[in-house]
């Protein structure tokens, strides 16, 4: 009878694996005062977590379930990101951890000769991650998930989102929202993706003033021509 119960438990967890999804959401929020917040959410299906918890006493029954169980434990119970604050996360569908890293001054993590940064393999804490040229900041990131494709039955949802204080100057995002202020990239397991974007902390008011000045000068010239033509007539 005990063997039947264990076998049923294995089938139940394997069934959950087929519908399992893992959220790996990276979010960078840049404010106009130069503050940078970087949040990473790693969370698993609640049903999967509950199933694996009940499966702890039967570890020898399925290598696949053991592997995913180790993955969950590594990312929920034993996880640690250097320099990040960690707090537990849960909602109606997912359980996991939210990691937070904050910088008060973007210039402290900017340089005139910054190279590509691997944001998911190397710790970005205290690194120069932006290239700064005058008032323009440029990011050249690599998001490398080539090695993370070993769980074929698990649906990984990997996203990288950037929120800017003003419309971006250029980008290679998969989706652009909020009038160019929100950029989203989707990364598949087994994929390496380049993430590039440039921005200012504020709208380029000088350009607007130049356009307004040109329009104003044109209006003066047109008015002068009209007045002069009336006098001639």
Helix residue ranges per DSSP H, the chain: 2-18, 46-55, 63-72, 205-232
- Average per-residue pLDDT for the chain: 77
pLDDT higher than 50, residue 18: no
For tokens 């005058």, the residue is 134
Burial profile 111-130: b = 16 or more Cβ within 10 angstroms, e = fewer: eeebeebebbeeebeeebbb
Tokens at 62, concatenated:
């399925």
Please state the length of the chain. Answer: 233
Domain edges within the chain: 2-202, 205-233
Burial profile 18-54: b = 16 or more Cβ within 10 angstroms, e = fewer: eebebbbbbbbbbeeebebebbbbbbbbebbbebbee
Tens-place pLDDT, residues 77-122: 656 788 899 999 989 989 889 999 999 999 999 999 878 888 876 6
Higher pLDDT, 44 or 153: 44
pLDDT band at residue 156, thresholds of 50, 70 and 90?
Answer: confident
What residues pair up with 97 in beta bridges, in sequence order? 42, 88
Share of the chain above pLDDT 90, in %: 41
Closest of 96, 130, 85 to residue 111, by C-alpha: 130
Tens-place pLDDT, residues 46-63: 877 766 665 555 554 555
């Amino acid at each position: 009878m005990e063997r039947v119960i264990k076998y049923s438990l294995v089938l139940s967890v394997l069934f959950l694996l087929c519908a399992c999804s893992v959220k790996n959401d990276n979010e960078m929020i840049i404010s106009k005062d130069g503050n940078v917040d970087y949040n990473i959410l790693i969370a698993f299906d609640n049903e999967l977590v509950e199933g694996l918890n009940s499966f702890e006493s039967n570890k020898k029954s399925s290598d696949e379930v053991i592997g995913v169980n180790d993955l969950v434990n590594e990312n929920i119970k034993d996880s640690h990101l250097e320099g990040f604050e960690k707090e537990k996360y849960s909602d109606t569908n997912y359980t996991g951890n939210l990691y937070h890293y904050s910088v008060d001054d973007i210039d402290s993590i900017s340089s005139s000769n910054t190279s590509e940064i691997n944001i998911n393999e190397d710790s970005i804490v205290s690194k120069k991650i932006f290239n700064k040229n005058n008032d323009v900041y440029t990011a050249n990131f690599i998001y490398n998930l080539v090695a993370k494709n070993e769980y074929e039955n698990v649906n990984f949802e990997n996203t990288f989102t950037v929120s800017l204080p003003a419309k971006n100057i250029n980008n290679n995002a998969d989706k652009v929202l909020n009038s160019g202020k929100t950029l989203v990239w989707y990364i598949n397991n087994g994929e390496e993706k380049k993430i590039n974007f440039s921005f200012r902390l504020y709208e380029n008011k000088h350009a607007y003033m130049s356009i307004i000045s040109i329009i104003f000068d044109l209006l003066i010239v047109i008015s002068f021509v009209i007045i002069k033509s009336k006098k001639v007539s």
